[in-house]
Amino acid sequence: MLEKEGQIRIPSGCAISGFISRDGKRICGDRIVKSISYMHDRSNGLGGGFAGYGIYPEYKEQYAFHIFYDSNDARVETERFLDRHFDVVNLSRIPTRKHPNITNEPLIWRYFLTPLPTKLASSQLDEREFVAQCVININDRIHGSYVFSSGKNMGVFKAVGFPEDVGEFYRLDEYAGYAWTAHGRYPTNTPGWWGGAHPFALLDYTIVHNGEISSYDANRRYIEMYGYKCNLLTDTEVITYIFDFLNRKQKLSFEDIAKIIAAPFWTEIDSGKYSESEKKKLKYFRNVFSSLLVTGPFSIILGFDGGLMALNDRLKLRSMVAAEKDDMVYLASEECAIRAICPDADKVWSPRGGEPIIVTLNDK
Amino acid sequence: MVINAEEYDYYELNRIITGSDDTDIDVSGVMGQRYIGCGASNKSITVHGIPGNALGAYLDGSTITVYGNAQDAIGDTMNGGEIIVHGNCGDTTGYAMRSGKIYVKGNAGYRVGIHMKEYKELYPKIIIGGSVGDFLGEYQAGGIIVVLGIGCEASVPVGSFCGTGMHGGYIFIRGDEPPRGLPVQVCCETATDEDKKIIKEYVEEFCTHFGYDAKELLASRFFKLTPNTASPYKQLYTNN
């Protein structure tokens, strides 16, 4: 039997990459597969995944759920739940291509959903909160069922395998989106499983992550007080929920969220490099959201509706390179992953630790 | 020997480079292959493209010239020879370097010279033309790091936490202001003409590689950082 996360320790790396067209041009998924493939040696074949934004224009008003099922029973039970809460506009298996390096796949299904108006009204929740709660309910209560993608006009594709193989398996060359992110996994401590591959997603928020969160349990205890359930057995999940909590619920900007999860050291805050009002704000955030400080090495790319954000831990214990070319912005663990798909970038730079790069569509 | 690296992964590429009897090796089309020239002696390796991490790790007397940017951990634990980068390089440049020279025309990332050390005639040197990130010379135990700050817009060409844990060697920083927030175990003073003699040879070689005026650079103000043996190392990571 496959040992799951927490049952075995495997020492670790990881690769992340992403790009966005600020003009909203839709770019074929084979580009992100090519980019991440140049960082093959950062992964070990125990997880690869992608998030694409703008890939379902024909269903852009529906929530696209991508779900792994361990069994047909789990599917039947989940579909009963979906029918009670949503109008299922379309459902199908996600098209895949047989690949010699991708094995033991679960059942992989996709649903385009609209919340049932009566259910939504009686819940007294706003629509996104209603959907988020449904996702958490399925993942927490239905055994063998994992909703791994749940946003509008976007989708996550992930598996156990090297990312370039995962991209072929999911036929990403048949999708086009204005932004893509990718992850190659080299699991820290754990063996890797389909649900534990990155990106981690809730609604349109997706996270790809290279690193290891020392503060995981402190972050988890805090975020679970707000109804989130960290049950996917890996640390990255909690970062996704922190972004959802701070951006969607607390309505904080991504710039401010960076100041919370990668807060400057107290010595830096007092060093004289910040204005008085900025100092006050930084201290306020450190005090109010102290349990959401993410410590340990990390570099992440957040995908969200209309943009991407990259962030390093404040000590910059993981690498991150950014580049620009015309309306395109590229982000990756290594410059080679950018040069491979954009040999003539106008500008290439490394963001500082704790300094976010936030890129949004020009019309957003 | 001329190699087109496009068809090779890091293992095959390095097997060809280190297995070759030729001393002059020209590698083009490099895109992220790691460990190029690892442990190589008595070769001159030219790299076109983007070499992967740990370029010239354990280098043992060869010269590597890169026409492009290099990634993280170039010269990791290198033992001798030279790495010359006509571009920028990433984090942990010269990681645990034991001897030899690294010249970088542009900027370098975080933790340049982390844990570099010296012993008798083994004496590592890192010369960065542009600016560097935080933790310059972290845990430095020996050797010389020079940051020239050419083209740097900030008043100080190095980031925060410079010299954290430094307990040997020298850091020379060209600029009009000393780095802010230096730890108490590091002494910082304006370099005298006598001090500059320590770095003269390396600055001149830098200028030969990249076409700058050594006299002009050496005439500028430099700060010299050395460990203050009177004060023990204070923990950074617990008092955060």
Contact at 8 Å (CB) between B187 and B223? no
- Scan residues 291-320 of A and list those with Cβ closer than 8 Å to B: 315-316, 319
Asked if B109 and A340 come within 8 Å (Cβ–Cβ), the reply is no
pLDDT bin (cut points 50, 70, 90) of residue A187 is: confident
**Cα A161 to Cα B222: distance, rounded to the nearest angstrom:** 52
- The DSSP call for residue B122 is B
B226 pLDDT more than 60: yes
Chain A: nearest CA to B240, how far in angstroms? 6
CA nearest to B116, candidates B92, B145, B144, B96: B96
Give the distance from residue A360's alpha carbon to the nearest chain B alpha carbon, in angstroms: 26
Minimum-distance CB partner of B69 among A268, A315, A348: A348
Scanning every residue of chain B, which has its alpha carbon at the shortest distance from the alpha carbon of A269? B240
Rounded average pLDDT over B41-59: 97
In a domain, A277, yes or no: no
Give the alpha-carbon dihedral of A58, A60, A63, A66, to 10 degrees: 50
Residue B149 in any domain: the answer is: yes
pLDDT at A7 > cutoff 80:
no
A58-89 in b/e form (b: 16+ CB < 10 A) is ebeebbbbbbbbeeeebbebbbebbeebbeee
| Domain membership flag for residue B238 | no
Flag whether B233 is in a domain: no
CA of A267 to nearest chain B CA: how many angstroms apart? 8
Q: Answer whether the bond into residue B179 is a cis peptide, omega within 30°.
A: no
Convert the pLDDT of each residue in B116-152 to its tens digit. 999 999 999 999 999 999 999 999 999 999 999 999 9
* Of residues A272, A273, A339, nearest to B31 (C-beta): A339
Q: How confident is the model at residue B180 (pLDDT cuts 50, 70, 90)?
A: confident
B67 neighbourhood in chain A, CB within 8 Å: none
Lowest mean pLDDT among A4-13, A14-23, A116-125, B108-117: A4-13
pLDDT of residue A188: 66
Crossing angle for the helix pair A127-141 and A72-85, nearest 10 degrees? 160
Report yes or no: B93 at the A interface, CB cutoff 8 Å: no
Structural domains of chain A, count: 1
8 Å CB contact of B9 and A353: no
What average pLDDT does chain A have? 94
pLDDT at residue A11 in the model = 42
Q: What angle do CA B191, B197, B203 make, to 5 degrees?
A: 95
Judge: B110–A353 Cβ closer than 8 Å, yes or no. yes
Instruction: Looking at the complex, report in whole angstroms how far the Cα of residue B159 sits from the nearest Cα belonging to chain A.
Output: 9
Name the token pair of A297: 């090495």
- Identify from A350, A352, A355 which residue to disrupt to test chain B contact, counting B C-beta atoms within 10 A and taking the largest count: A350
The verdict on a CB contact (< 8 Å) between B32 and A39 is yes
CB contact under 8 A, A337 and B32: yes
CB contact B31 to A (< 8 Å): yes
Q: How far is CA A86 from the centre of its chain?
A: 24
Spatial contact of A245 and A223, defined as CB atoms under 8 Å apart:
yes
Per-residue pLDDT at A145 exceeds 60: yes
A299: left (phi over 0), alpha (psi -120 to 50) or beta: beta
- Which of helix, strand or coil describes residue A122? helix
Nearest to B71 among A272, A273, A335 (CB): A335
Q: What is the CATH number of the domain that holds B146?
A: 2.160.20.60
In terms of CA atoms, which chain B residue is nearest residue A36? B32
What band does B85 get if pLDDT is binned at 50, 70 and 90?
A: very high
Number of domains in chain B: 1
Which chain B residues have a beta carbon less than 8 Å from that of A294? none
- Residue A3 in any domain: the answer is no
Helices assigned H by DSSP within chain A: 30-37, 72-85, 117-123, 127-141, 163-169, 216-224, 236-243, 254-261, 266-269, 276-288, 335-339
**Chain B residues whose beta carbon lies within 8 Å of the beta carbon of residue A265:** 240
How near does any CA of chain A get to the CA of B139, in Å?
Answer: 15
Q: Is B90 on the interface with A (CB under 8 A)?
A: yes
B69 CB neighbours in chain A (<8 A) are 335, 348
> Does residue A269 form part of some domain?
no
CB contact under 8 Å between B10 and A273, yes or no, is no
The answer to whether residue A124 is domain-embedded is yes
Domain containing residue A41: 14-262+295-360
The answer on pLDDT for A9 being more than 50 is no
- Cα of A48 to nearest chain B Cα, Å: 19
Q: Is residue B236 part of a domain?
A: no
The verdict on residue A285 lying in a domain is no
pLDDT at B240 over 50: no
**Do the Cβ atoms of B109 and A350 come within 8 Å?**
yes
Q: Which of A96-105, A189-198, B148-157 is predicted with the least confidence, judged by mean pLDDT?
A: A189-198
Cβ contact, residue pair A319, B90, below 8 Å: yes
pLDDT of residue A103: 94
If phi over 0 gives left and psi between -120 and 50 gives alpha, with beta otherwise, what is residue A189? left
3-state secondary structure of A157: strand
- A270 CB near a chain B CB, below 8 Å? no
State the DSSP code for B117: -
To the nearest 10°, the Cα dihedral for A183, A186, A187, A189? -150
- The fraction of chain A above a pLDDT of 70, given in percent, is 95
Q: For residue A351, give how far its alpha carbon lies from the nearest alpha carbon of chain B (Å).
A: 9
3-state secondary structure of B214: helix
Task: Tell whether B159 is within 8 A of chain A (Cβ).
Answer: yes
Report the C-alpha gap between A120 and A115 in whole angstroms.
6
Give residue B166's pLDDT band: very low, low, confident or very high (50, 70, 90): very high
The CATH number that applies at residue A34 is: 3.60.20.10
> CB contact, 8 Å: B34 with chain A?
yes
Determine whether the interchain pair B90/A335 forms a contact, defined as Cβ–Cβ distance below 8 Å: yes
Is the alpha carbon torsion for B145, B178, B154, B218 positive or negative? negative
Report the predicted TM-score, pTM, of the whole model to 2 decimal places. 0.94
- Reported ipTM: the value is 0.92
Under 8 Å between Cβ of A319 and A293: no
Tens-place pLDDT, residues A198-245:
999 999 999 999 998 999 999 999 999 999 999 887 889 999 999 999
Look at phi and psi of residue A93 and say left if phi exceeds 0, alpha if psi is from -120 to 50, else beta.
beta
Q: Which domain holds residue B134?
A: 2-227
Query: Which run of H or E residues covers position B206?
Result: helix B193-210
Catalytic residue, chosen from A14, A134, A230, A342, is: A14
Nearest CA in chain A to B8: A38
Across A185-208, average pLDDT: 88
Distance CA A216, CA A261 (A): 12
Residue type, A61: E
3-class SS shares of chain B: helix, strand, coil, % to 5: 15, 30, 55
CB contact under 8 A, B180 and A265: no
Can A230 be counted among the known catalytic residues? no
